[in-house]
Structure 1
Amino acid sequence: MSDAPLVQGGSIETVELTRGAFRAQFVNLGAALRILEVPDRSGDAANVMLGFQDLEAYRGAPRFYGAVAGRYANRIGGARFTLDGTEYRLGANDGANSLHSGPLGFDQQFWSVEARDEHSVTYALESPDGFNGFPGTLRAQVRYTLEADGLSIELSATTDKPTVVNLTSHGYFNLAGEASGATILEHLLQIPAGRFTPADETQIPTGEMRAVEGTPFDFRTPRAIGRDIEAEDEQLRIGSGYDHNFVLDGTSGALRRIATLFDPASGRVMDVHSTEPGVQLYTGNFLAGGAPGNSGRVYAAHDGLCLEPQRFPDSPNQPEFPSARLDPGETCRHEIALRFRVAEDVAAAFGSV
């Protein structure tokens, strides 16, 4: 197998934003969030994002570190779907399935800087009709804004023919700090979701929306990520840990809190807000190995976790799932907000959620 970079040509460039104690750095390849420095309970800032130390490593086998995943994030079963009676065959890159839209998805494309000011940067990308099998020329944007308490991410897209769209930010978080050497297994997580979508052996949803009660997937009350990750559970075996979509309670469309993550050691708390109906929890089950991370350390399994707000995986093939269809004249919009604070203990971290 060739070890040549997957992404040829183009210059990898960064943009940095600072505001108070926060600092963010972005990469134009994948419009990726590479660094996000956040203060702990002592006021000391540390980078809480996983990424590559060498910018050129972003050209290699995709790990999706901080990238915009699209045009359809997550999996589509059989790498195909039917829309208005026409079957579209996609690039398969996860066995027989499409993962994050197949080879050279949005994470492996160069985005252009469309606008920039003191606290924000906007990237844009045009994906041609038929790329990786998807219909319609899709024009996508992501606007990052560094705010007084964190980062807002505004994703949008338009099309010139009916298509399917699911855009999200694929950040890997470790609130103890990317350089700390700690895993995320001691982080506590709360997700207001009474159901999740179990998957088959290829990690495609079965169509069921299963109650979390009495299962390792019940994060309605805060629990440590590592508490049940090795439990005797068929779904955890299939994902080699958590790699599942949660059906969020309440009505989607409005920006609302969808998860809270807390690192007891540093005191950092992250409240994730989104407008989408689901969120994928991935606990970095296959992170081990690869090129050195931001701090020069090669990552191990569970060194970071993803909380990816989204439409459900395989929605184009699952009529009971929320629709991911986008028609000409419409704009697909997805807002994400990462709000940070500090807490002395579990009660303070989750007392208001």
Structure 2
Amino acid sequence: MIRIAALALFLSAAQMTIAAPPAPEPFGKTADGVAVERYTLKNANGVTAKIMTRGATLTELHMPDKSGKAADVVLGFDNVAGYESDDNQYFGCTVGRVGNRIKEGKFKLNGKDYQLLVNNGPNHLHGGGPRSFDKVVWKAQGIETKNGPGVRFTYTSPDGEEGYPGNLSATVTYSLSDSNELRIDYEATTDADTPINLTNHSYFNLGGAGSPTVLDHVLLLNASKYTPTDDTLIPTGKIAPVEGTPLDFRKPTRIGDRIDQLTKTANIGYDHNVVCDGEAGKLRHIATLKDPASGRVLKVSTTEPGVQFYSGNFLKGQKGKGGKTYAHRSAMCLETQHFPDSVNHPNFPNAILKPGDTYRHAAVFGLSAE
């Protein structure tokens, strides 16, 4: 009886130490009056991530530097109104149904022509207009995952929304481990063939959001090839080696060292899809970003075939969190993805989801300091 009582006491104590799933907190309302909530994930090492239901958006990511001082390293706003304003350039959000660009917003699928919203020069960008994934309010639930505390976001996009076919059910799960990995897992199913390319659009400055430039960061990309584009940033269909181009980051290189060589793109700077080395579908290391001043390091792994490296060319000095200014090229993105305009290039990895199949995509952001 003593052993049974002791066992019961042990189990009771063990149950008490299990952390409760993250709980939501109010984060205001949209202009249409829809309530927005935010979830906070924390680990044992001083890393904190905050994610809101509008756009399944990473609003804050605090990580320590080499001296242990934490700073928020992603761009964003203090309230929902900021995210609904023209100053928001997809900060931290989940983009879809199709992230990146589709030429002239056109594609053909199963013999039918589709016309999507043109919202980026002559092209379709990041899912389109008011019902693109970055602008809708997702359902959310705090959970415990094998990696640590997490939050699961779900959204069902009806057939025809933003011009896309099929009812698409999407799930985006963020989790934070005590090994300092912020992981994002994407899943989706459909009842009709449809293009899909989900990603996260966080802007990073490892010196802290609002620091004046990201050009002093050092970047490594495990990418031997890239997809050349026309002047509107639509791929030509070729897959070319990075060797001899400003996109060769196979060795750690300061971002600003060769950016002035990019004078023939629409953005005059980095806004390119590189082809990840290794086998697509398997999680592998693709990028390492380091801020020499703070010592903060971001390591990105993904299952996707590509990653968009964007050097914040359109940041315009808008005011963000805490009134900080987001200057031109003061942050950068590493968007794990299928190649841009894949739906119009049969030689690119397939980006069509079919009924009965499940779209899966994982991205892991390892956080450290040295």
| Same fold, TM-score > 0.5, yes or no | yes
User: Is 2:185 the partner of 1:159?
Assistant: no
Alpha-carbon distance between aligned partners in 1 of 2:120 and 2:295, rounded to the nearest angstrom: 37
Residue of structure 1 equivalent to 2:23: none
Match of 1:86 in 2: 112
- Structure 1 runs of 4+ with >6 Å offset: none
Judge conservation of contact 1:7–1:60 (CA < 8 Å) in 2: no
Pairing 1:200-349 to 2, within 5 Å after superposition: 200-231=230-261, 233-234=263-264, 237-290=265-318, 292-343=319-370
Query: For residues 103 and 6 of structure 1, what CA distance do their matches in structure 2 show?
Result: 16
Residues 114-140 of structure 1, C-alpha deviations (whole Å, 9 max, x = no match): 443471111111111011110011111
The correspondence of residues 110-125 of structure 1 with structure 2, limited to 5 A, is 110-117=137-144, 119-125=149-155
Moved more, 299-308 or 87-96: 87-96
Segments of structure 1 that go 5 or more residues without pairing to the other structure are 344-353
Specify the code of the residue in structure 1 equivalent to 2:201: H
| Alpha-carbon offset, residue 284 of structure 1 | 0.4
What is the CA deviation profile of residues 59-105 of structure 1, one whole-angstrom value per residue up to 9, with x for unaligned ones? 22341111001010000001011111111111111122110011121
- Kept in 2: contact 1:283–1:305 (CA 8 A): yes
Match of 1:347 in 2: none
Shift of 1:170: 0.6
Mapping 1:46-57, distance limit 5 Å: 46-57=71-82
Give the 3 Å change call, closer, same or farther, for CA 134–6 of structure 1 in structure 2: farther
Contact 1:134 1:163 in 2 (8 A): yes
- Letter in structure 1 aligned against 2:223: A
Give the letter aligned to residue 50 of structure 1: L
Q: Which stretches in structure 2 are left out of the alignment for 5+ residues?
A: 1-28
State the alpha-carbon separation in 1 of the partners of residues 263 and 241 from structure 2: 14
> Paired residue for 2:103?
77
Provide TM-score, normalisation by structure 2: 0.87
Alpha carbons of structure 1 residues 340 and 125: separation in structure 2 relative to 1, 3 Å: same
Can you list the C-alpha shifts for 1:2-23, whole angstroms capped at 9, x where unaligned?
xxx9963312221111112111
Number of residues of Structure 1 aligned to a counterpart in Structure 2:
335
Q: Secondary structure of the equivalent of 1:173?
A: coil
Equivalent position of 1:10 in the other structure: 34
Structure with bigger gyration radius: 2
| 3-state SS in 2 of match to 1:50 | coil
Q: Secondary structure at the match of 1:132?
A: helix
Cα distance change on mapping 1:249 and 1:289 into 2, 3 Å = same
Q: Which amino acid aligns with 1:305?
A: M
Matched residues, percent identical? 45
Amino acid at match of 1:168: T
Q: What amino acid is the match of 2:345?
A: Q
Q: State the distance in 1 between where 2:129 and 2:350 align.
A: 24
Query: Aligned AA for 1:110?
Result: V
Shift of 1:298: 2.3
2:182 counterpart of 1:147? no
SS at match of 1:183: coil
Deviations 1:216-251 (A, max 9, x none): 1101111011111112553xx433200010011121
Structure-1 separation of matches of 2:204 and 2:250: 20
Query: Aligned in 2, Cα 1:233/1:58: closer, same or farther, shift over 3 Å?
Result: closer
1:88 alignment partner, SS class: strand
Taking the aligned partners of 2:256 and 2:201, their CA distance within structure 1 comes to 21
Residue 67 of structure 1 is matched in structure 2 by: 93
Q: TM-score, normalised by structure 1?
A: 0.92
Q: Letter of the 1:208 partner, please give it.
A: K
- Opposite residue 135 of structure 2, the aligned amino acid is Q
Q: Match for residue 10 of structure 2?
A: none
Aligned counterparts, 1:183-194, within 5 A: 183-194=213-224
Q: Aligned to 1:182, which of 201, 212, 216?
A: 212
Is the contact between residue 8 and residue 59 of structure 1 (CA under 8 Å) also seen in structure 2?
Answer: no
CA distance in 1 between counterparts of 2:105 and 2:301 reads 30
Secondary structure, aligned partner of 1:265: coil
- Cα RMSD of the aligned pairs, angstroms, is 1.5
